[in-house]
Amino acid sequence: SSLESGWEATTPNDSLDHRPTFAQTEGRDPSNEEILGYIERFKLQEFLSDIVMCVAKYMPKDPFEFIQDHITDLVNRHRGKHNILAAPDAAKRVHFAPDTLSISLAQPKVGPEE
């Protein structure tokens, strides 16, 4: 498979365990061209590089906790920078009550502006 990475969820019932994979929905693994197109479409390589540079800028004691604490803001900045809209069903995937957040975030655009 082109997606073999050796990575496996270490926590039973990890949130990724509940999402269907491309192979499960399409009946095949994505081609290398499809993977590269997907990475480019969402500018994922740039996004991940930006995360690493942000961690390097602050050099927190626990970089994983830092990323976990700031991932929503980093995603929102990336979406805004590249005008990448959230999927229409993104709100359904939120597993926390927005009023429990300690930060306030602008609502992401979910469709074309009128």
The whole-number pLDDT of residue 18 equals 75
Q: Which backbone phi and psi does 90 adopt, to 5 degrees?
A: -60, -40
pLDDT, tens digit, for every residue of 26-83? Answer: 989 999 999 999 999 999 999 999 999 999 999 999 999 999 999 999 999 999 999 8
Whether pLDDT at 9 is above 80: no
Q: How large is the angle between the packed helices 44-58 and 32-41, nearest 10 degrees? A: 60
For the chain, the 3-state helix, strand and coil shares in percent, each to the nearest 5, are 55, 0, 45
- Please state whether the predicted TM-score (pTM) of the whole model is above 0.85: no
The whole-number pLDDT of residue 22 equals 87
The whole-number pLDDT of residue 63 equals 96
- And the tokens for 24? 């499960």
Per-residue confidence band for 88, with pLDDT thresholds at 50, 70 and 90: confident
